Amino acid sequence: DIQLAQSPSFLSASVGDRVTITCRASQDISNYLAWYQQKPGEAPKLLIYDVFTLQRGVPSRFSGGGSGTEFTLTISGLQAEDFATYFCQQLNVYPLNFGGGTKVEIK
């Protein structure tokens, strides 16, 4: 199985900040990497797939990058509604594992 390690697990930031979350895969997953946002009591919401493709309706302040085993999610200009937990997921091979999550909180 492919393991995904996210860092940091917790991040404290202010509105307007630029934040970057990293996801490292235990082996090459090509470009089959997605990012989700989850708020308490809600299902995860797809933000980005195939490393950098923005899901329809997702604001352009979200961006993804990376390749192979190291990937990033960047939020440029954090908004109040962005405080949530973020998960990466690999879709290269089954099982389609998720990372452990990064909780973004207000400083």
Partner 1 sequence: QVQMVQSGAEVKKPGSSVKVSCKGSGHTFSSYAINWVRQAPGQGPEWMGRIIPISGTSDHAQNFKGRVSFTADKSTNTAYMELRSLRSEDTAVYYCTRLPNWGSGAFDVWGQGTMLTVSS
Q: Which is nearer to partner 1, 47 or 75 (CB)?
A: 47
Site string for partner 1, 81-100 (x = CB under 8 A): ------x-x-x--xxxxxxx
Separation CA 82–CA 32 (nearest Å): 24
Q: Report the residue number, 19 or 33, with the smaller CB distance to partner 1.
A: 33
97 vs 26: CA distance, rounded Å: 11
| Cβ closest to partner 1, residue 36 vs residue 62 | 36
Rounded CA-CA distance 74/96 in Å is 22
Total interface residues for partner 1 by CB under 8 A: 23
Give least dist CB 49 to partner 1, A.
4
How far apart CA 95 and CA 13 sit, in angstroms, is 33
Beta-ladder partners of 34:
89
Distance CA 46, CA 89 (A): 10
Residue 27 binds partner 1 (CB under 8 A): no
Residues lying near partner 1 in the complex (CB under 8 A) are found at: 1, 32, 34, 36, 43-46, 49-50, 53, 55, 87, 89, 91, 94-101
